Amino acid sequence: MPQSFSGIVAEVSPAVVNITTTSVVSRPVTQQRGGPMFPPGSPFSDLFRDFGIPGFPGPESPFGDPGFGAPQMQQRSNALGSGFVVSAEGLIVTNNHVIEGADEIEIEFQSGARLPAKLVGTDPSTDLAVLKVEVDKPLPFVRFGDSDTAQVGDWVLALGNPLGQGFSASAGIISAKSRALTGTYDDFIQTDAAINRGNSGGPLFNLQGEVIGVNTAILSPNGGSIGIGFSMASNVVKGVVDQLEKYGETRRGWLGVKIQDLSPEIAESLGMQAESGAMVTDVPAGPALDAGIQAGDVITSFAGNPVTDTRDLVRRVADAPVGEAVEVTVLRGGESVTLQVTLGRRELADADGSGAPQGEQPPEGASSELLGMSLVPMTPELAARLQLPETARGLVVQDIDATSDASAKGLRVGDVIVEAGQQPVATLADLRARIDEAREAGRQSVLVLVRREGEPRFVALSIAEE
């Protein structure tokens, strides 16, 4: 255990900054007349409104929440956060949520000096932002370390501006790595170093004084630190900062596939010995389709590196250069196939995307029981009811036994089985044939491709007791 962190703090703290943002918000004029103030939904606000107290709209008011029917006035609001300098020229990293919506951004240095900052770029996907201050002389700055080499149990140091108290340091250990919260590109380091409101955007240091994370979020029932904090890993941050500095925006690689993790049942149904890789469930128009990747392929390697799961593949693709060809190895029919894929750009693909149609319950019709489900072949009428193309094919789940393996795996009424054993199925006879083939191969399950509201998913259904 370190005897003291004072040496590290003295070395890195000049590069840690407080961030104050100012924005203009609208507030009811009522609050400026001395009228009572209650939180939205309070029974007291309903009482004052119903009795016609000035400033509270009556029951017939079209303005919605109590107090918000009154005229609005513009008022300036301040918020606090943290950040750190990463270049002598004044480049500063923080969280996007610290500066989001700000009209003015001011940076306070440990020396007490204050400078206005301009926004270079933001990335809401990783909650990161890059700012810039104009300086006459080089600023103290810190460097990024390799977050992949950090280990659970390593000592770490968090610096920032907790609860607006000014420069503050807290120490702890890395509690876990590779945590995912809500984002596609999440790779959080979990730490028990005290992180509170106002620490957002501040650095997490290792004992070499290198930044291995950006303090972003806490898990807390009361809003204060309970020893569960999350810092975005520096190896993610570095790539985002480089792109924001260079382009003012992110430019992530795009493969153009829908994928899911391999379960032990799916791996067994494919005759795989390991569960590593990412299974392709759909290949819309894009780079992967152009290169020949197919639904049912298992991506086992990307750019020469093995793929462990879907999160690993998403990160590798995002970090890859847009417009460059990369080798993608897939497992198809028990054989490895290597393809050359020229990656597109994720941001452009997202801008062109559209939502999937919502499905409906299929009507009653002639059906047959199989694998614990009542199945009926797709018809043009069923396709119209399910908002699918008239040419759609497959077997529609009309009913399902709640005790069946299919129910346990998440299938439900309205799902459409379009493949079994990685071959299309349009009739019940097709599905029975695929089940027989799987049994003859000595497998305990059959792999089916299910579409729900336009979204595909592979499921391995048990055939042991059929």
Note the pLDDT of residue 349.
84
- Predicted confidence (pLDDT) per residue in 223-238, tens digit: 778 889 999 999 999 9
The DSSP line for 50-87 is: HTT-TTS--TT-TT-STT-SSPEEEEEEEEEEEEEE-S
Whole-number Å distance between alpha carbons of 135 and 246: 19
Question: Does 101 score more than 70 pLDDT?
Answer: yes
Which residues are catalytically annotated? 97, 127, 200
Q: From residue 56, how far is each of 33, 41, 192, 424 by CA, in Å?
A: 12, 13, 46, 63
Give, in degrees to the nearest 5, the angle at Cα 416 between 411 and 419. 100
Question: Does 52 score more than 50 pLDDT?
Answer: no
- Predicted confidence (pLDDT) per residue in 265-321, tens digit: 888 888 888 888 999 988 988 999 999 999 999 999 999 999 999 988 998 999 999
- Predicted confidence (pLDDT) per residue in 152-181, tens digit: 999 999 999 888 788 899 999 999 999 988
Note the pLDDT of residue 361.
39
If pLDDT is split at 50, 70 and 90, which confidence band does 240 have? very high
Q: What whole-number percentage of the chain has pLDDT above 90? A: 48
**Cα atoms found within 13 Å of the Cα of residue 326, Cβ hemisphere only:** 26
The 3 state secondary structure assigned to 93-120 is: EEEHHHHCCCCEEEEECCCCCEEECEEE
Q: What is the mean pLDDT of residues 356-365?
A: 38
Whole-number Å distance between alpha carbons of 204 and 154: 12
User: Which stretch, 153-167, 350-364, 367-381, has highest mean pLDDT?
Assistant: 153-167
If pLDDT is split at 50, 70 and 90, which confidence band does 73 have? low
Using an 8 Å Cβ cutoff, are 288 and 253 in contact?
no
Note the pLDDT of residue 60.
43
Q: Are strands 373-377 and 395-400 parallel, antiparallel or unpaired?
A: antiparallel
Token pair 């957002």 is found at 200
Lowest mean pLDDT: which of 4-18, 44-58, 365-379?
Answer: 44-58
Note the pLDDT of residue 28.
56
Query: Which is more confidently placed, 433 or 73?
Result: 433
- Predicted confidence (pLDDT) per residue in 246-256, tens digit: 999 999 999 99
Q: Which residues pair with 460 in a beta bridge?
A: 447
| Average pLDDT score over the chain | 84
Q: DSSP state, 28?
A: E
Tell whether the torsion through CA atoms of 344, 347, 351 and 356 is positive or negative.
positive
